[in-house]
Amino acid sequence: MIRAAVLAVTERSRTRKLITETPPGRLVARRFVAGETLDSAVSVARSLNEEGLKVSMDHLGEHVTDVGAAIEAKDAYLACAHAIDDAGLDANISVKLTQLGMGLNDDMAADHVREIAAAAARVGTSVTIDMEESIYTETTIGIYEGAQKAHGNLGIAIQAYLLRSAADLDRIIPLGGHIRLCKGAYAEPEDIAYQGDSEVDRSFDRLSALLMSSPDTKPAIASHDDARLVPVLEAATQRTAPWEFQMLYGVRRDRQRELADAGNDMRVYVPYGEAWYPYLTRRMAERPANLAFFARALIGK
C-alpha cells in the first residue's frame, strides 16, 4: 500500500522536477547511485572490490520508446564489459530488458541480450537479467531461457512477491544459471502478487530454501532483511556448491562488509548513468525514511 502511494506521488511531473533538478534531490540520489558516467561506476566498483565485495554493474535506464535508445543502451553495456576487463574488476553486469527494447521489439531485445552475454563471456564474466513489472515476466523468462541455452553465462532475478515464482523456479533451475531472489520492487495487483509483508517474507523463505538446496543453480540471495538472511546462513552450512548474497549500493553498507568479512560472497549492485530517477523512486518506496531524508535535505536540516 505504502509502496503504491509513494510510487504514485513520485510519478507526478512536479515531484520528478523537484527531485531531479534540485541539489537535495541529487544529494539523495548520490547515496544510491554511483554517478552518471561509466568512469564513476568503475571507480566505485574498484573501491568495493578493495573492501572484499564483488559488484554487479547496472547502467540505469528502462522502458525505452525507440530503437535508437535500445541500441545505445546495448552499446553502453558492451562498453561496460570492456571496462570491467580493462580495470580488472571482480564484477558482472545487470540488465533490464525494457531498456534493451523489450515491449518495443522483443526479438531485438533478445538479440541485444545475446550480444551482451557474448561480450561478457569474452571477458570471463556473466549477465543477470533484472525482473521488472509483472506484464513482462513471461517474456523476460523466455528471453532468458534462449540466451542461457546459447551462452551459458546468464542469470535472472525472481521476485518472491509473485504468486507464480515457485513454478518459474522449477522451470529455470535446470538451466543452470545463477538466480537472484529478491522480494520485488513494483506495485502489483493482488491476483498476481502477495500484498502483505509477512506473506512476501514467507514466500521468500520458501524460495530461498528451495534455491539453497538445489546444487544445479547458483543462488544469489538479494535482501537487506536480516530475518531473511538467517535461514540462508543456516542452509549454507549444508551447501557445497557456490552461492552469494547481494545488496544494493548505499543500503546497509556495514552489514555488507560484515557478511563478507565472515567469509560469505557478497555482491553489491552498483547503478550508474543519467536515467536514475525511476530507480531512486523505488528505493524511496521501499523505505519511506528515505523520503524523510530527502525532505530534511530540502529544508536544509
CA dihedral over 6, 158, 89, 122, signed as positive or negative: negative
59 binds ligand FAD, rule: CB under 6 A: no
Hey, which residues between 180 and 209 contact ligand FAD (CB under 6 A)? Answer: 180, 182-186
Closest CA relative to residue 273, chosen from 41, 17, 93: 41
The percent of the chain in helix, strand and coil, each rounded to the nearest 5, is: 55, 15, 30
Contact status, residue 220 vs residue 244, Cβ threshold 8 Å: yes
CA atoms of 235 and 232, how far apart (whole Å) = 5
86 binds ligand FAD, rule: CB under 6 A: no
**For this structure, is 130 an active site residue?**
yes
54 binds ligand FAD, rule: CB under 6 A: no
38 binds ligand FAD, rule: CB under 6 A: no
114 binds ligand FAD, rule: CB under 6 A: no
159 binds ligand FAD, rule: CB under 6 A: yes
Question: Which residue matches cell numbers 531524508?
Answer: 293
**Per-residue interface string for the shown chain with ligand FAD, residues 264-293, x marking contact by CB under 6 A:** -----x-------------x--xx--x---
Q: How far is the CB of 31 from ligand FAD (least distance, A)?
A: 8
Given 10, 153, 223, 281, the residue binding ligand FAD (CB under 6 A): 223
| DSSP assignment letter at 66 | S
Closest CA relative to residue 236, chosen from 267, 204, 264, 268: 264
222 binds ligand FAD, rule: CB under 6 A: yes
Which cell numbers in the block locate residue 198? Answer: 509477512
95 binds ligand FAD, rule: CB under 6 A: no
Given 38, 45, 95, 247, the residue binding ligand FAD (CB under 6 A): 247
**For this structure, is 30 an active site residue?**
no
Question: Which residue matches cell numbers 520528478?
Answer: 16
Q: How far is the CB of 157 from ligand FAD (least distance, A)?
A: 3
CA atoms of 32 and 276, how far apart (whole Å) = 9
Given 57, 61, 93, 130, the residue binding ligand FAD (CB under 6 A): 130
Q: How far is the CB of 246 from ligand FAD (least distance, A)?
A: 4
In the set 180, 228, 267, 283, the catalytic residue is 180
Q: How far is the CB of 233 from ligand FAD (least distance, A)?
A: 15
For residue 245, CA distances in Å to 133, 241, 263 come to 23, 14, 11
| Cα angle: 171, vertex 130, 52; to 5 degrees | 110
CA atoms of 171 and 192, how far apart (whole Å) = 18
Q: How far is the CB of 250 from ligand FAD (least distance, A)?
A: 7
What are the residue numbers of the active site? 130, 180
Q: Which residues bind ligand FAD (CB under 6 A)?
A: 130-131, 157, 159, 180, 182-186, 222-225, 246-248, 251-252, 269, 283, 286-287, 290
